[in-house]
Structure 1
């Protein structure tokens, strides 16, 4: 490929980087708090709630994200055609325009958020469980309520403990955003695959790979800095 072709290709990919960043950013925005909620529900003493949460986590972690993306994308049209679908639900689904980019993005986001929330739930649950029980008892003796104990004493320690595992999931998310190209969704990897036959070259794929590598490397440096900041006992 000539320099002009590479420059043109680079400019084209830059146009679609925001779409990839949207998947990454919104997934983190929603999956982290949902993961914390799921972690608390899994630790709930009311067995039906903890059991249902366990089933959700098992399904999300036990099936491929790509499969979940495909199910999310095509669930609405197939439910529409189901003979046993109640009329109110069918009417609501018929009002959804499945041909728009916003529908595709929303379905991708649903799959990503539910998947990553399950992984974050296990990370957060492990972090909460690692805090000694004595700290809860000490907080109660000092007059702290359960809410105050969690947010003022437990949660800051959990954040410190889960940073390494969470950073690994977040960096993995960078590469997983490329799975959206299978739907298809107009993001970096999708554009790269479309340009391979146009230029009869693998350079577009290498350029896409470079983007993911640089993004992951920057996040690695960021989390290394954050981990050092939270190592206040060293």
Structure 2
């Protein structure tokens, strides 16, 4: 296999990897705070709000991400009367699907982090006269994030790999260009190259989270 051939297939695959990375960044930036808001909603004393949040998390975690993507991209436009107004760019639709799905998973991760904090710390905060906001900001949230960080890191790596599902909704990404090259050239080299690119992305992500864990540990 010539070096020129590798360069010829690498360029479009890197373009596909760019779409993969953009989707990951958008999904992670939006789904993490949305997941935390869902966690607060689940713990809310307002029963209808807590019920809605729990139902949402159950539905999003209980159905396949691929089904959700297909529904958003191809199903919403078929809804009577309003369907024509729900036709959106496929990449934007895919971003929406990933955000809604991963927010539910991050909500459960954060809920576990909150449950792991000793109740005595809440009581100690009251004794010290700290408000609920100060208790949450200075005591609860830092500990929750430290506890949840390994699970967040693992879920983030999973998110990178799940971006391959864009292929199923006809959004050009890394796997799309790899499959195109395989079908055209009858060689598995593009698949191997795609695997290497995915590994490099997840390696960078893993190193970042390890650095973040060390930083928080010493802080």
TM-score, with structure 2 as normaliser: 0.94
Structure 2: distance between partners of 1:66 and 1:51: 25
1:39-98 alpha-carbon deviations (Å, 9 max, x no partner): 11111122222121111111111111111111110133211xx2xx4xxxx3xx535654
1:94 aligns with 2:84: yes
Matched with 1:104 is: 90
> In the alignment, does 2:205 pair up with 1:215?
no
Q: Counterpart of 1:144?
A: 130
Structure 2 residue 103 is matched with structure 1 residue 117? yes
- Aligned residue number for residue 32 of structure 1: 32
**Counterpart for residue 55 of structure 1:** 55
Matched residue, 2:70: 70
Structure 2 CA distance for aligned equivalents of residues 156 and 74 of structure 1: 41
Measured against aligned partners, the alpha-carbon deviations of 1:135-169 in whole angstroms (never above 9, x if no partner) come to 11221222221111111111011111111111000
Unaligned runs of 5+ in 2: none
Name the SS of the counterpart of 2:218 in structure 1. coil
216-225 or 161-170, which moves further after superposition?
Answer: 216-225
> C-alpha root-mean-square deviation of aligned residues, in Å?
1.6
> Which whole-Å CA distance do the structure 1 matches of 2:54 and 2:184 have between them?
47
- Cα deviation for residue 11 of structure 1 reads 1.6
CA distance in 1, matches of 2:87, 2:42: 36
Q: Name structure 1 gaps, 5 residues minimum.
A: none
Instruction: Output the CA distance in 2 between the equivalents of 1:180 and 1:228.
Output: 34
Q: Say if 2:156 is the partner of 1:166.
A: no
**DSSP 3-state at the match of 1:186:** coil
- 1:192 maps to 2:182: no
Question: Are residue 182 (structure 1) and residue 168 (structure 2) matched?
Answer: yes
| CA displacement at 1:105 relative to structure 2 | 1.2
Q: How many residues align?
A: 219
| 2:8 equivalent in structure 1 | 8
- How far apart, CA to CA, are the structure 2 residues paired with 1:182 and 1:202? 20
Q: Does 1:224 align with 2:210?
A: yes
- 1:116 is displaced (CA, Å) by 0.5
Tell me how far apart the structure 2 counterparts of residues 170 and 122 of structure 1 sit (CA, whole Å).
14
Instruction: Tell me, in whole angstroms, the C-alpha distance in 1 between the residues paired with 2:119 and 2:76.
Output: 46
Moved more, 190-199 or 119-128: 190-199
Q: Residue 41 of structure 2 aligns with which residue?
A: 41
Q: Which deviates the most, 136-145 or 151-160?
A: 136-145
**Cα distance, 1:15 vs structure 2:** 2.2
